[in-house]
Amino acid sequence: EADIYQTPRYLVIGTGKKITLECSQTMGHDKMYWYQQDPGMELHLIHYSYGVNSTEKGDLSSESTVSRIRTEHFPLTLESARPSHTSQYLCASSEAAEAFFGQGTRLTVV
């Protein structure tokens, strides 16, 4: 069973607030990813990292930012949340081919 954790699981927040979604893994994986998933739609890559101090933007444009200061930790930050940011955010990590996912954070911006 994969050991990758996301907090919070659910978050309802007002427009304009700054938020950070946490993601931690205990498997020592170098590669980590953030995906965004809307209901009935495919997962889209928004950020990825190949190791400490490495971060890149994915295929889907996102106003969020990420950091990778420690191998096990890959937080995602929204400086000013908007209703358009309402979505499910999924964190994943991999060593070889298979990616293992956390349970996700369901974000609602009101």
Q: Report which of 23, 28, 27, 25 is spatially closest to residue 46, judged by C-alpha positions.
A: 23
Among 12, 41, 52, 60, binds other proteins (CB under 8 A): 41
DSSP class per residue in 57-87? E-SS--S-EE--SBTTB--EEESS--GGG-E
Nearer to other proteins, 70 or 98 (CB): 98
**Closest distance to other proteins from the beta carbon of 77 (Å):** 20
Half-sphere CA count of 65, side-chain side, radius 13 A: 4
Among 3, 22, 67, 101, binds other proteins (CB under 8 A): 101
Contact criterion met (CB below 8 Å) for 47 and 63 = no
Q: If binding is defined by CB under 8 A, does position 69 make contact with other proteins?
A: no
Q: If binding is defined by CB under 8 A, does position 42 make contact with other proteins?
A: yes
Chain contacts with other proteins (rule: CB under 8 A): 2, 6, 31, 33, 35, 40-45, 48, 50, 56, 58-59, 90, 92, 94, 97-104, 106
